[in-house]
């Protein structure tokens, strides 16, 4: 009696080993979990304290957030831009959406000039809904 037939050596393996595929999926999951918070972070700002949290809820499509670093760098909705590009984008967005609200996040140790430039540009172009963002005071 033969233990091994010649026919068995010619038969291809019909099972797929999914262990390497699962390893790859877990590695990708870990990479995305680690990098997602880093991608969502804007400028490293220290907002001044004070003010209250927003009471009326706004539609997120109506909000544009301008971040101003202490060195005078601007970011509009997490995209680095020059001052002229920020103003141009805000004006075009305001024309297409009159309910636009501009959130200005300025560092508490930065120069007021950079924040005032954004505020003046909004006022000159008819954008009336502007909000300065702060770290809210704790409720007592």
The reported pLDDT for the residue numbered 140 is: 52
Name 81's Cβ contacts closer than 8 Å, sequence gap at least 6. Answer: 74, 75, 89
Q: What mean pLDDT comes out for the span 85-111?
A: 90
What is the band of 131 on the pLDDT scale with cuts at 50, 70, 90?
A: confident
74-76 and 130-132 as β-strands: parallel, antiparallel, unpaired?
unpaired
- What is the signed CA dihedral for 95, 100, 103, 104, rounded to 10 degrees? 20
**3-class SS letters over 86-120:** HHHHHHHHHHHCCCCEEEEEECCCCCHHHHHHHHH
Mean pLDDT of 52-79: 81
Q: Where are the domains of the chain?
A: 6-40, 60-132
Mean pLDDT of 53-57: 60
CATH class, 60-132 region: alpha beta
Calpha distance 131→119 (Å, rounded): 10
């Amino acid at each position: 009696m033969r233990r091994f037939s010649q026919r068995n050596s010619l038969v291809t393996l019909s099972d797929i080993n999914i262990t390497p595929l699962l390893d790859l999926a877990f590695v990708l999951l870990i990479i995305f979990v680690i990098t997602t918070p880093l991608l969502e972070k804007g400028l490293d700002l220290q907002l001044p304290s004070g003010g209250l949290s927003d009471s009326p809820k706004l539609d997120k499509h109506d909000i544009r957030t301008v971040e101003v670093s202490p060195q005078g760098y601007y970011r509009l909705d997490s995209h680095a831009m020059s001052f002229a590009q920020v103003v141009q984008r805000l004006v075009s967005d305001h024309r297409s959406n009159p309910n636009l609200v501009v959130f200005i996040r300025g560092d508490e140790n930065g120069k007021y000039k950079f924040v005032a430039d954004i505020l003046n540009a909004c006022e000159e172009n008819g954008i009336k809904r502007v909000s300065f963002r702060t770290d809210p005071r704790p409720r007592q």
